[in-house]
Amino acid sequence: MFKNYLKTAIRNLKRYKGYSFINLMGLAIGISCCIIILIYVQDEFSYDRYTEDYEQIYRITLTMQAPDRAELQTARKQPSWIPDPCADRANSDKGNH
């Protein structure tokens, strides 16, 4: 039965070349996109997992707003930095969890 399906598929591929090409290209592009998305998601989930205590890694962000300007979030616009008082507090609270 599988042999019959295979023969029919090959016959249709030869008979309808344009339609088959479009279908196969769509399938190839779809599978490629899924693989790329899977690799991206896997990379995002593995971020900062190289250390032993990766559950204890936190990112502190600072949001600033000038009276005449839009809101600035430092974690998205530039590398992370925090004022010294926040860093001292984060270091002192590290052992409390």
Residues 68 and 86 in one domain: yes
Residues 58 and 92 in one domain: yes
Number of compact structural domains in the chain: 2
Residues 30 and 60 in one domain: no
Residues 40 and 58 in one domain: no
What are the tens digits of pLDDT across the range 6-64? Answer: 999 999 999 999 999 999 999 999 999 999 999 999 988 887 777 787 787 776 666 66
Residues 66 and 34 in one domain: no
The residue range of the domain holding 26 is 2-45
Global pTM value: 0.55
CA–CA dist 97, 86 (Å, integer): 17
CA–CA dist 20, 59 (Å, integer): 50
Residues 58 and 40 in one domain: no
